[in-house]
Amino acid sequence: MRPLAKIPADDQQMTSSRVVLDRLIETTREAVIVVDQDLRIAACNDKAVEAFAGGIRPVGRRLTELLRDLALHQAFVNAIRDDKAAELRLELNTRERRRFDVHIAQVRIDGRNFGVGFFYDITKIERLESVRQEFLSNISHELRTPLTSILAFVETLENGALEDAENNLRFLGVIRRNAERMSSLIADILELSTIESGSASVDKRRISLRESIDNIYASLAAKAAIREVSLINDIEPEHSIFADPLRFEQMLVNLIENAIKFNRIGGTVTLTSESKGNYDAISVTDTGEGISTEHLSRIFERFYRVDRARSRELGGTGLGLAIVKHLALLHGGEVTVSSELSVGTTFKVELPSR
Ligand code: ADP
């Protein structure tokens, strides 16, 4: 931040109002531009230089050279000439569309009028807001589907099906399954929001990898048996990793469950690992249908599914991989995927080794 060198002063002494303004601009976190009566930039802070002037200090240049916006221009004129303050929205049509809330007011320095503009960058806030809205609308939609089904079957039972000895238990079964779906959806949403809010803790310890995978396999054996999928543990007995045991299990259960669900009948799920110096890589490989390239880059997004109806049928929430991704990040690691259609998919979790 430079001082307001270009503001004409009646004498060469910095007056107190200029000093105050200098300091004010310097300490403001938002972009600030001061414009003189000729509508030239009299001063600005580093934030403004970076946001509007491509890193080159614009002092002395016309406001219009910097920001070509009629309303903004007029607001500065009104502030300087008539002491009229204004609030407006500015949109920059740069490659990355940026939006600002702008507040413009008059300041008097050394007996002259200037216009000062404060530019609040709201691009990120708006983006987050739209992600939040989308998330909410997804949640509502996801909850409404099982709820509609529950209500329909309750109504059917009320309207006489309760006495229908052949079907009543089946209808109750549908109600139970949908209620369970809602319950796991809510559990996943809560889990994801805890992880994303940063309040989830990771308690890292040394874990014997092979043993941990054996335990996970034991808990998923029944699911694998239904689809006749073999679970293979190809991890070296002495390989240990540094992770939060519960969180690690949560990641692996999600990945292995998917590897079973999206496998062919009689397929295999194979766990392998590599120690790569400062990190460990754990791979889950299946012999399933694979994921095509167009979907591959999006499957870690919340609620993204290649086949929505099929995922639901298999009891999925569409949040499993989003949870895995965030848990891996929480450990300072990452998860990646590679896949070949009709051959299979490999998810690789990489975690720092200490
Ligand atoms: P879901 O609850 O649907 O399993 P996930 O977030 O766990 O949600 O996975 C998102 C989607 O990614 C799945 O619906 C499926 O289309 C795809 N997917 C995940 N794992 C695999 C896999 N091993 N093989 C093929 N497709 C997969």
- At 199-221, the pLDDT tens digits run 788 899 999 999 999 999 999 99
Q: Pick the residue with more confidence: 21 or 64?
A: 64
Lowest mean pLDDT among 71-85, 269-283, 302-316: 302-316
Pick the atom of ligand 1 nearest to 302's CA. 6
Q: Residue 275 has which token pair?
A: 């120690």
Same domain membership, residue 206 and residue 192: no
Whether 259 lines ligand 1, by a CB cut-off of 6 Å, is: yes
Distance 56 CA to ligand 1 centre (A): 48
Query: Which of 185, 254, 258, 293 best tests ligand 1's pocket when mutated (most atoms within 8 Å of CB)?
Result: 258
Does residue 5 lie in a domain region? no
Same domain membership, residue 239 and residue 196: no
Does residue 32 lie in a domain region? yes
Q: Residue 90 has which token pair?
A: 């500015």
Distance 326 CA to ligand 1 centre (A): 16
* Dist. CA 331–CA 105, nearest whole Å: 48
Q: Show which of 143, 177, 200 is a domain's final residue.
A: 200
Q: Tell the residue number behind the tokens 């105050």, with chain if given.
A: 20
Does residue 186 lie in a domain region? yes
* Dist. CA 279–CA 115, nearest whole Å: 55
Same domain membership, residue 217 and residue 182: no
Residue 283's identity, in one-letter code, is S
Q: Tell the residue number behind the tokens 């000439």, with chain if given.
A: 81
Does residue 350 lie in a domain region? yes
pLDDT of 3 > 60? The answer is no
Whether 321 lines ligand 1, by a CB cut-off of 6 Å, is: yes
Strand partners, 62: 40
Same domain membership, residue 218 and residue 77: no
Q: Pick the residue with more confidence: 14 or 169?
A: 169
List pLDDT tens digits, range 288-338: 999 999 999 899 999 999 988 888 788 788 999 999 999 999 999 999 999
Same domain membership, residue 157 and residue 208: no
E strand or H helix that includes residue 240? strand 240-243
Same domain membership, residue 227 and residue 351: yes
**pTM (two decimals):** 0.73
Q: Whose CA is closest to atom 21 on ligand 1?
A: 258
Same domain membership, residue 171 and residue 268: no
Same domain membership, residue 234 and residue 335: yes
Residue-number span of the structural domain to which 249 is assigned: 202-354
Nearest to 34 by CA among 76, 68, 2, 70: 76
pLDDT computed for residue 333 by the predictor: 96
Distance 258 CA to ligand 1 centre (A): 6
pLDDT of 51 > 50? The answer is yes
Query: Which of 257, 321, 342 best tests ligand 1's pocket when mutated (most atoms within 8 Å of CB)?
Result: 321
List pLDDT tens digits, range 83-117: 999 999 999 887 778 999 999 999 988 889 999 99
* Angle (CA) 180 185 189, round 5°: 150
Distance 341 CA to ligand 1 centre (A): 14
pLDDT computed for residue 10 by the predictor: 46
Nearest 10 degrees: Cα torsion 297, 300, 301, 303: 120
List pLDDT tens digits, range 254-268: 999 999 999 999 999
pLDDT computed for residue 94 by the predictor: 77
Same domain membership, residue 228 and residue 312: yes
Q: Residue 116 has which token pair?
A: 């000062």
Q: Tell the residue number behind the tokens 């007996």, with chain if given.
A: 111
- Based on the structure, what is the number of domains in the chain? 3
CATH assignment of the domain containing 158: 1.10.287.130
CATH assignment of the domain containing 109: 3.30.450.20
Same domain membership, residue 214 and residue 296: yes
Same domain membership, residue 222 and residue 349: yes
pLDDT computed for residue 11 by the predictor: 46
Distance 297 CA to ligand 1 centre (A): 12
Same domain membership, residue 233 and residue 182: no
Instruction: Give one DSSP letter per residue of 60-125, joined into a string.
Output: TSBHHHH---HHHHHHHHHHHHH---EEEEEEE-SSS-EEEEEEEEEEEETTEEEEEEEEEE-HHH
* Angle (CA) 89 95 101, round 5°: 15
